[in-house]
Structure 1
Amino acid sequence: MKPRFLLQVLLAAASLAGIVPAAGRAQAPPRRIEITASRFNYNPGTITLKRGEPVILVLKSADVAHGLRFRDLHVDLNARAGSTAQIGFTPDKIGEFIGHCSVFCGSGHGSMQLRLHVVN
């Protein structure tokens, strides 16, 4: 028996046994969520995620520099005026989290919030 064929048979058996993931079974890419920040709100203002589901948050600043921070989820990103920033993360806690703008953007800065619901 040829060594290459033997290796293929062993990998196929390991895949069926759950030891090695099957080559054709690729994981879905992380969910991409685009958020636009402008004085003094986020659009969308509320996002729902599933615990354990990888996501990429993309923050776009429509006017001045803005940030987005969820302290309890260890998420913090900043977008310069007119640009975008992104961060990938996987929520590991269930609940409602309030994100705040982390870059001073004017008189309404303190009221700028985004609600994040993480469900099972």
Structure 2
Amino acid sequence: MLTKRRLLMCAPLALVALGAVQAKAKERVIKIEARKFRFAPNVIELKKGEAVVLELTALDFPHGFSVPDLKIRADLVMGKPVQVKLKPETAGQYGFLCDNFCGSGHEEMAGTIIVKA
């Protein structure tokens, strides 16, 4: 049985746990489809410091996803969503591309992440 004193001692721990759950719930999920020879969407706008999860799915072929300036790299297996967490700390434009050759037109498979201050 919890006494009033024990209940008061447990309250801060419960608030910390609740805060952690709420922080995780605030991550925005951005779904990105990869198919020959494009990403959809190919422009992603974020706010500086915004925590997001990029959920990438290859629809027709094993693709790659690379954002060199943000040191992000993922292999996309056809039909299996891959999640990449991102919290950009610097405003700017960051190019992304498919780095797994997927045929004629592969060079056009690219996009931009725009991080606004």
Give TM class, smaller chain.
0.7 to 0.9
Structure 1 residue 50 corresponds to structure 2 residue 47: yes
Secondary structure, counterpart of 1:22 in structure 2: helix
Measure the CA separation in 1 of the matches of 2:77 and 2:64: 8
Measure the CA separation in 2 of the matches of 1:103 and 1:76: 11
> What is the 5 A alignment of 1:5-84?
5-9=4-8, 22=15, 24-25=18-19, 26-27=22-23, 28-84=25-81
Q: Which has the higher helix share?
A: 2
Measure the CA separation in 2 of the matches of 1:101 and 1:21: 44
Query: Which contiguous aligned blocks of 4+ residues in structure 1 show a shift greater than 2 angstroms?
Result: 3-12, 20-29, 81-84
The two structures, once aligned, show a CA RMSD in angstroms of 2.3
Structure 2 residue runs without a partner (length 5+): none
- TM-score (norm. length: structure 1): 0.79
| Length, aligned pairs only | 113
Structure 1 residue runs without a partner (length 5+): none
Distance verdict in 2 for CA 1:22–1:83, change over 3 Å: closer
- TM-score (norm. length: structure 2): 0.80
Q: Percent of aligned pairs with the same residue? A: 30
Shift in Å, 1:11: 6.0
